[in-house]
Amino acid sequence: MSTRAPLIAGNWKMHKTIAEAESFIQALLPRVSAADGVDVAICPPFTALAAMVDSARGSRVQVYAQNMHQLQDGAFTGEVSAAMLAELDVDGVILGHSERRELYGESDRALALKVTAALAAGLHPILCVGESESERERGDTERKLRHQIQEGLGKVPAEQLAEVAIAYEPIWAIGTGAVASPEQAQDAAAFIRALLAGRSAEQAERARVIYGGSVNAGNAAELLALPDVDGALVGGASLDPVQFAAIVAAAQ
């Protein structure tokens, strides 16, 4: 039996003003206050981070950013650094979401630096990996995952691997309603854990591998019961506090 606490993280993407985020958190907090043993995180846009840190203080809800730059400072218009997030008391950061990789050209090389910069600043990184539909159809899923894990975690010392949560997010399942089957999710999560075990069996046993891609209140329980799936990264269904709280309850 695994001792890994499940992590349920809601990725809001470019949704919610500060006022909307406030009404969300006020609705969420009472609904998750008894979710013992589950780590709950919301990932608001940068503009709502400080307000959410304040509103969630003292609760079980953690606040993660959706991205950050790999360097400490510099001429990078529109970017923020790990230290800037840590100063806000943000708990962690999503790195390498497929939307950032596809729409903004985020590279594995930059991600390797982002992961270590986040860890150095005391932030918990969630590193996203996953194959496209055509890669799956070609039988390239494991090759893609191996590449992204090796590159993204390449600069993390073996004894620190479990400090990074890995989100397996098949691109074809994100925002499409086409959730991975339990077998597909379990196979990929177990494969990722085996890759980690190649560097440290002990860290692989402790590391959290979570699933993302069209998770909702109706399918969460089946996915979260899988032996190698330690939580969920939730997009669309995390925008509604009732549905998000139901996913948290399914993790208990």
Should residue 163 be labelled a site residue for ligand PEP when binding is judged by CB under 6 A? no
Of 6 and 235, nearer to ligand PEP (C-beta) is 235
Should residue 39 be labelled a site residue for ligand PEP when binding is judged by CB under 6 A? no
- Closest residue to ligand PEP, Cβ-based? 235
Q: Could you say which of 166, 189, 234, 248 contacts ligand PEP (CB under 6 A)?
A: 234
Should residue 125 be labelled a site residue for ligand PEP when binding is judged by CB under 6 A? no
Binding mask 78-97 toward ligand PEP (x if CB under 6 A, else -) reads: -------------------x
State the catalytic residue, choosing from 20, 69, 97, 102: 97
Annotation marks residue 124 as catalytic:
no
Should residue 213 be labelled a site residue for ligand PEP when binding is judged by CB under 6 A? yes
Residues 232, 208, 135, CA angle at the centre, nearest 5°?
65
Annotation marks residue 97 as catalytic:
yes
Q: Could you say which of 7, 117, 119, 174 contacts ligand PEP (CB under 6 A)?
A: 174
How many beta carbons lie within 10 A of that of residue 208, not counting itself?
Answer: 23
CB of 171 to ligand PEP, least distance (A): 10
- Which segments of the chain does DSSP mark as H helices, in order? 18-32, 46-56, 82-87, 98-104, 108-120, 133-137, 141-152, 182-197, 201-206, 220-224, 241-250
Q: How far apart are CA 86 and CA 226, in angstroms?
A: 33
- The amino acid occupying position 101 is R
CB of 1 to ligand PEP, least distance (A): 27
Show the 3-state SS of 129-161. Answer: ECCCHHHHHCCCHHHHHHHHHHHHCCCCCHHHH
Sole window of 29-37, 152-160, 233-241, 243-251 interacting with ligand PEP (rule: CB under 6 A): 233-241
Q: How far apart are CA 57 and CA 179, in angstroms?
A: 33
Should residue 231 be labelled a site residue for ligand PEP when binding is judged by CB under 6 A? no
Should residue 215 be labelled a site residue for ligand PEP when binding is judged by CB under 6 A? yes
- The amino acid occupying position 216 is N
Give residues with Cβ within 8 angstroms of 31, minimum separation 6.
241, 242, 245, 248
Under a CB-based contact definition with an 8 Å cutoff, are residues 93 and 126 in contact?
yes
| 210 DSSP β-pair partners | 167
Under a CB-based contact definition with an 8 Å cutoff, are residues 10 and 232 in contact?
no
Sole window of 21-29, 51-59, 167-175, 180-188 interacting with ligand PEP (rule: CB under 6 A): 167-175
Interface residues toward ligand PEP, by CB under 6 A: 11, 97, 169, 174-175, 212-215, 233-237
Catalytic residue numbers? Answer: 97, 169
